[in-house]
Amino acid sequence: MARLIYVPVLHSVAEMGAAAPAYKAAFIARHGEAKWTERCAAFDAIWRSTAEAIKALGLDLRRVKLYQDSLPVCDKESELVSNLAAQGSPNHQLLESLMRGGATLVGTESPALLLDEYKLLQSSERTDAKAAALLDARDRFIAERISQTLGEEEVGLLFIGALHRVARFLPQRIKVDYVAVRSELSQGQEQPRM
């Protein structure tokens, strides 16, 4: 039986690309520099805890496949991960670390569906129903991709945002687990939204 482990993802400012400076400036204007620094520290603590939780699983990384939210199937997956890691994305830095340990990165998402989502986000005709239908289509694609690439006795780590519900589309041959991430935020503090 194959095993898939959900890893919760908080998207970082580094992943925002050109929109990052405006987001940071707006946040600081509203909440102040100290709150920004505090938020960044909390965000980093969550990613350190995530890395520790994965390490605690004791996985043989040579039998691990890595699936990443918003990583298109494109033959340039490693380059995309390296670029975001170099820009400071802790999510992508963790992926690089796991790859150095022997894990295999797998293109996860349909480029066409990701482009559709980008267009929908920019559209004045965006509705909750359209967004939900698109997310559902993305989840179906991700599940099919995992089903096609995750072999028996292999473990997949799915780095995915909270709105996704990929597990409902996976075949029964894939057992689904969830990594337990513990940090100081797990003990009553507000979780950062980035």
pLDDT of residue 18: 63
User: At residue 188, does pLDDT exceed 70?
Assistant: no
Position with higher pLDDT, 26 vs 194: 26
DSSP 78: H
Confidence of residue 187 (pLDDT cuts 50, 70, 90): very low
pLDDT band at 183 (very low <50, low <70, confident <90, very high): low
Please state the domain extents for the chain.
2-187
Residues 6+ apart with CB under 8 A from 111: 72, 73, 74
Encode pLDDT of 32-88 as tens digits: 889 888 888 888 888 999 999 999 999 999 999 999 999 999 999 999 999 999 988
Per-residue DSSP letters for 35-56?
HHHHHHHHHHHHHHHHHHHHHH
Note the pTM of the prediction, 2 decimals. 0.86
